[in-house]
Amino acid sequence: MKPAATPTAAPTDPLRIKIAGMDCGSCAMTIENSMRQLDGVADVSVSFTTETMELSGNVSEAAIESRLKELGYRIANAADAAPQVVVERHGLSGFVHFLWEQPPLRAALFVTAAMLLGISIIPALGIAAIAGVPALSILFGMGVIVAGLPVFIKGFRALIFARRITIDLLMAIACFGALGIGATGEAVTVILLFMLGEALEAYSAERARDSLRSLMALQPQEACVLEAHADSHGHDHKGHDHEGHDHEAHDHDNHDHDNEAHDHQVIKPVELVRVGDRVLVRPGQRVPVDGDIVKGISSINQAPVTGEDIPVLKEVGDAVMAGTVNGEAALEVRVTRPSSEGTIARIARLVEQAQSERSPAERFIDRFARYYTPAVVALAALVVAIGVFVLGGSLLDTGSERGWLYRGLTLLIIACPCALVISIPVTVVSGLTRLAQLGVLVKSGALLDRLADIRVVAFDKTGTLTHGKPVVTSMHTNQCEHPADNFNECDPCESVIGQAAAVERASEHPVAHAIVSAAGNNGKHVSMAADVEAHPGKGVSGKADCGHKVAVGSRKLFSETQAGLGEVDAFARTAEDDGETVMYVSHDDKVVGYIGVQDEIREDSVRALQELDAMEPEVRTVMLTGDNRRSAERVAGRIVGLDEVRAELLPDEKLAAIKELGADGSAVAMVGDGINDAPALARADIGIAMGGGGTAQAMETADVVLMQDDLSHVPMAIRMGRDARAVIKQNIALSLALKLAFLFLAIPGIATLWMAVIADVGATLLVTLNGMRLLRKS
């Protein structure tokens, strides 16, 4: 199959390659070291958790593939790189099946069986020695060679092509050293235990990777495309897709006349479905591609993508996302994005990119490991030399104590930093993937770690703490005599709101939507104003179809001496006191009225603020809004736990507020809609956008995207960041503690070779399983 990579990498075009065969964190470091030695390579980064390599420079694919083969790895082919249904690895049967699929472990199991058989048969046959060598020692030596050959070859390849000492090389030296000093039984025990440990590590790594694969497995691989055909029959027939492949095709509708267009169903791979195609989604099926409903009404379960557990009713005109599950009725969907750019694909790419980017802690551990292993190897040699030449001890074992060579071999096994290297990435991957499953996208491991530092969270008001769908609740003009909330049958109000809607029609602000919606009630047409000009943080102006200049905005848009302002201001102030957002309207530079809108507070806003208020260490919460102070304070008064309100802020004042909130060194997170708050989101340490179910703009601009628009996910993300940091610290402490403990046990000769292997493998498994605990967090 064709490798999943492009032929060459230009210096400005990093090459991203999937690699097959990595089973530990040390593998990634070995590949990195070796690739750096290729001519033309400028930079390279290998992620063990995502099995990817990103390489910059001018180097051919053939050279890369050749070097990988020399190291014992390969470029993943198209089948490896494509999203597949995740293999079930849970339960005892899945665990046993996975282990049996590992060829090195199968060989080790056969060797174990042969050893047990030999131990039983050889003494019974009376065979004590062969050519002066104990028969069992020969048997054990053969077992070491047969079981350990793949490990030994891999270790020597890493030394030759990557100039790196790996655990495989250390195991080779330890096993051959043990054979040389006559500890054949321990040598075969060590290699068999090591092979079992390697298989267990591979199992743990695959379980962690499965969490990412499960995201891609959500998208169906085929779609039922509706194609119009003009024919003279209404029965089933064979259709052909654009590639010429045959597929079953069935009439979608009943037809009473010949020679009219029929909708035929053609099953196609999602990669061949084009924008504009119509797709049939039957009840209970997953939506195969992103699109808009053009026929039908049904409930859509969005939990697989956004984490939202309550199905959402969707009808004609509504958007649906790939990977969501259709409910009770068939839907006809018009495709709006190719499968490669759909919601699921974008989420998976972002998560994989986040997992492959190393956090500062990971980079530190990688640098530490580069020096740790050579240092411990040197220490092992020094221990042997001092023990023999300075202390006068025996090089080989004596009847009463371990020889110094044996102790040095034990130290070699302890020199492997596998547990230390894998302790951080497996934790970061688990945290990022779990958040993605719950509907929160965090764009890198560094940002996940930064979430743990957050001490201030700033919220925008409209569309964030509130639903962002305000409605017009009051209105008054200088010609009105009715109460402000009884404006529906007032001709002057109708005229003013129509003119306001004309200039607001092009705006994406929720208040503008409310005005346009109110003006369009009862089927009234809202025309578009000409020469529309936005006044950031203040309002908008333009020329209505009557040819007159119309301006709509907050009090800041108008001067204190503006004509007509005094007649309207008293009514507007009353509306503000009631918590409404007030927009003044002027006609030819004369204020003619105001429009009051009000928004409902999200239920999850209250829950989120309460959870943040209860956190330890304490998290301070602030509302930043361009709305008037009375309206902002009225909203704040209905939310328990909000510490501070800053109102009537222009965009540059929001930026200044973010800077001021972090002036004491506190890490600040800003939560907004990802559109109107883009500057503040960019300035904050962590920008958190309300994703609206996965809008492309929110995904691109923010550090964190809330796919479900649920603010209670903000404290959840901060908790995950803190939990991840705590687990990383636990893993590092555990790895180093076990290494130090066995270091002090090996030097006096207390620790044995097989104990050192168990400690090394055990530490790696413990930190992996500890990191994977985050996959169960909620």
User: What's the pLDDT score for residue 235?
Assistant: 44
Summarize the confidence of residues 394-399 as an average pLDDT.
82
Task: Calculate ∠ Cα 77-82-83, nearest 5°.
Answer: 150
Cα gap 713→441, rounded to integer Å: 11
125-143 pLDDT, tens digit per residue, is 778 778 778 888 888 899 9
Helix (H) or strand (E) holding 503: helix 491-504
User: What's the pLDDT score for residue 720?
Assistant: 96
Summarize the confidence of residues 540-569 as an average pLDDT.
87
| Global confidence as pTM | 0.69
Q: Are 714 and 671 in contact (CB under 8 A)?
A: yes
Q: Are 513 and 501 in contact (CB under 8 A)?
A: no
Summarize the confidence of residues 460-483 as an average pLDDT.
83
Residue 678: pLDDT above 80? no
Q: Give the total residue count for the chain.
A: 778
Angle between the N-to-C axes of helices 184-216 and 167-180, in degrees from 0 to 180, rounded to the nearest 10: 160
CB atoms within 10 A of CB 713: 24
Summarize the confidence of residues 515-519 as an average pLDDT.
87
Cα gap 364→359, rounded to integer Å: 9
User: What's the pLDDT score for residue 1?
Assistant: 42
Task: Calculate ∠ Cα 79-85-89, nearest 5°.
Answer: 110
Q: Are 475 and 722 in contact (CB under 8 A)?
A: no
307-348 pLDDT, tens digit per residue, is 666 788 899 998 898 888 898 889 999 999 998 888 777 777
Residue 716 banded pLDDT, cuts 50, 70, 90: very high
Query: Which one is catalytic: 277, 290, 460, 723?
Result: 460
CB atoms within 10 A of CB 231: 14
User: What's the pLDDT score for residue 753?
Assistant: 85
User: What's the pLDDT score for residue 397?
Assistant: 79
Check if 231 is active-site: no
Q: What is the mean pLDDT of the chain?
A: 82
User: What's the pLDDT score for residue 9?
Assistant: 43
Q: What percent of the chain has pLDDT over 70?
A: 86
